[in-house]
Amino acid sequence: MGFYAMKIKLTPELSYLIGLWRKCRAYEGLGVKGNDELLGIFSKEAISQGLAQPDKMLTEGDRVYFYHSAYKKFFQEVEKNQLERFKYLNDYAANYIAGLFDSAGSIDEKGVVSLARMSKEDELLLLRLGFNTKRKSGLLMVERPLVFLAFIKNYTKLFRGNKIFDYVESKKRG
């Protein structure tokens, strides 16, 4: 029997997982490091999307990961080509940005939305999608947070319960 090359297709759900992985990756295998909630989200998504079996997920302290060279290479390729892959306001970009936000974003008590550890390319990606940002104290501050949050609202997992999304929803209806 010949060599079988696995063909991986980008889906909106996989876009979320890649965005999540990008800013909090664990250097062992393919995984993330962070708090328990973040590790749980990554594990659940990787298993439900069929990337790994539950018994293949490895946990070490603040990290969870699995080994799969084809997916790791695919994640790295999507990361390298993010400006081309996520240039339209669609479910792929919304999931990817939601993953980035879940891994490196925050919403403060005044409703200020920011992202940490963002490169110039990440900044350009957001700008091309219509989200202006300003750099302040190493953070990317989103200038129109309600528009940004409305875009990722249905895809964020870590921030899903944040009360600001009720406000975003009321503004959409109002």
Q: Is there a domain that residue 56 lies in?
A: yes
Is the same domain home to 56 and 113?
no
Is the same domain home to 102 and 75?
no
Q: How many helices (H) and strands (E) does the chain have?
A: 8, 8
24, 90, 164, 42 alpha-carbon torsion, rounded to 10°: -30
Q: Is there a domain that residue 40 lies in?
A: yes
Give the model's pLDDT for residue 58.
Answer: 97
Is the same domain home to 72 and 111?
no
Is the same domain home to 151 and 105?
yes
| Total number of domains in the chain | 2
Structure-token pair, residue 122 = 């990440």
Give the model's pLDDT for residue 163.
Answer: 85
The residue segments making up the domain with residue 98 are 88-173
The H or E element spanning position 21 is: helix 12-24
pLDDT one-digit tens code per residue, 125-159? 999 999 999 999 999 999 999 999 999 999 999 99
pTM score of the predicted model: 0.93
| Listed residues 58, 80, 102: the one ending a domain | 80
